[in-house]
Amino acid sequence: MTRSIRPLVAGNWKMNGVRADLAIAAEVAAGYDLALKSAVDLALCPPATLLYMMSAALLGSRIATGGQDCGVAASGAFTGEVSAAMLADSGATFAIVGHSERRALHGETNAVVRAKAQAAQAALLVPIVCVGETQAEREAGKALAVVRKQLRGSVPEGSKAATLVVAYEPVWAIGTGLTPTPADVGQMHEAIRAELARILGKPAAAGVRLLYGGSVKPGNAAELMSVAHVDGALVGGASLKAQDFLAIARACA
């Protein structure tokens, strides 16, 4: 962890959840006690169909909500898209952009991810910009170069620490149960911080929250969160289980 940075644990529900599952958010809110509130920020990113209802249900809990993606344009003839302004209107604080599933399955380039991050910032949302290498890229010794390139292409220049979160999610670790070693995570997060300093300047980069994602669960959270420059977690499947999500938050606290 970075002592000067308040950690964030964000849950990405992906394409999971119906109205009955708002009970999960309620259980998280019930377990977000004073000790946790004093130590760590929480956010839940449900599917767009649940965003407004979850935001309303969590009012007063100090748990933020976010979208899992946002459109580049503010409005217009873009059937099926959800704009950043619409997310904000639904109560969101964050917007995940550039997740590896969006990059791989929807062909999103670094330029598209940057445009989405800029759209989020324009709507006063904080983008969670995701970066990460494939297993083939890591095995070829290209992991650091790949992530640096993604950062240069995806992070809006001029971002301030309060207007940006970066999540490192090695593609090969997402949903597989595999995780890199703490040493590998530390090396990558240190490299991300250094690259952000080149993009944004050292003062801004020093305050950006860097999350780790990729098969984060209660059993490995404490070890991962103890690594330098890891300022929280972007949690996938475990965020659909309130007690697992809270256990990861306690590991940060």
* DSSP letters for 156-213: PTT--GGG-EEEE--GGGTTTS----HHHHHHHHHHHHHHHHHHH-HHHHHH-EEEEE
Q: Which residues pair with 165 in a beta bridge?
A: 128, 209
Cβ neighbors of 136 (< 8 A, separation 6 or more) are: none
Q: Rounded to an integer, what distance in angstroms lies between the CA atom of residue 172 and that of residue 133?
A: 8
- Measured torsion, CA atoms of residues 25, 27, 31, 36, in degrees rounded to the nearest 10: -10
Catalytic residues: 99, 169
